[in-house]
């Protein structure tokens, strides 16, 4: 499943990555990296001891990512985002500081979407954040059911304008 047939614009990439505190981003997870447009920018900014775990279901994209990025901080997992908790535990990682997702939530069955969102919330560090970019704002309702704090911004400078959601694992002030 693809969220878009064209890569994300530099404006969408910039808006999606803007909330990340790169000094504290030790473990970053990306759902649906596709050809790696955002992956490359994450690696460019990620600290030297950071980890990027990218979940991709398309075997051709998995192969492309492996061929495109020679960086020991990147691990591409050929599998569903539903496995985030298990994959982090297998690698003895307590949780993710940030999870980024461009997977097309509106095109998947409700139970799969809900499982991914709940497992992502559970896999985030207490001060962690899920960043979701979509071409429809409809996912916002589902995000608000799972995350206590959800904000969004519109990015018009993308072929298919997009909405970027920032979902915090805990309520501000806790």
CATH number at residue 55: 3.40.50.150
In a domain, 127, yes or no: yes
pLDDT of residue 2: 43
What's the sign of the alpha-carbon dihedral 108, 111, 114, 116? negative
Q: What is the pLDDT of residues 157-169, one digit of tens each?
A: 888 889 999 999 8
In a domain, 4, yes or no: no
pTM of the model: 0.93
In a domain, 173, yes or no: no
- Give the C-alpha separation, 155 to 24, whole Å: 26
pLDDT-based confidence at residue 16 (cuts at 50, 70, 90): very high
Q: What's the domain range around 81?
A: 10-16+24-168
Q: What is the pLDDT of residues 65-104, one digit of tens each?
A: 999 999 999 999 999 999 999 999 999 999 999 999 999 9
In a domain, 50, yes or no: yes
DSSP the chain: --S-SSPPPHHHHHHHHTT--TTT--EEEEE--TTSHHHHHHHHHS-TT-EEEEEE--HHHHHHHHHH---TTEEEEES-GGGHHHHHHHTT---EEEEEE-S-GGGS-HHHHHHHHHHHHHHEEEEEEEEEEESSTTHHHHHHHH-SEEEEEEE-SSSS-EEEEEEESS-TT-
Nearest by Cα to 41 from 31, 55, 52? 52
- Give the C-alpha separation, 109 to 112, whole Å: 5
In a domain, 64, yes or no: yes
In a domain, 116, yes or no: yes
Across the chain, what does the average pLDDT equal? 93
In a domain, 149, yes or no: yes
The structural domain count of the chain equals 1
pLDDT of residue 14: 93
In a domain, 139, yes or no: yes
pLDDT-based confidence at residue 6 (cuts at 50, 70, 90): low
């Amino acid at each position: 499943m693809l969220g878009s047939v064209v890569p994300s614009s530099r404006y969408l990439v910039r808006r999606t990555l803007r909330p990340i505190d790169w000094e504290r981003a030790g473990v970053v997870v990306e759902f649906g990296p596709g050809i790696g447009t955002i992956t490359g920018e994450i690696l460019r900014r990620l600290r030297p001891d950071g980890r990027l775990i990218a979940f991709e279901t398309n075997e051709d994209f998995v192969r492309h990512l492996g061929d495109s990025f020679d960086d020991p901080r990147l691990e591409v997992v050929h599998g569903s985002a539903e496995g985030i908790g298990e994959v982090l535990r297998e690698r003895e990682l307590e949780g993710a500081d940030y999870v980024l997702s461009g997977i097309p939530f509106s095109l998947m069955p409700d139970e799969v979407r809900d499982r991914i969102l709940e497992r992502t919330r559970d896999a985030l560090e207490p001060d962690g954040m899920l960043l979701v970019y979509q071409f429809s704002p409809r996912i916002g309702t589902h995000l608000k059911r799972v995350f206590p704090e959800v904000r969004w911004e519109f990015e018009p400078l993308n072929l298919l304008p997009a909405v970027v959601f920032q979902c915090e694992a805990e309520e501000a002030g806790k």
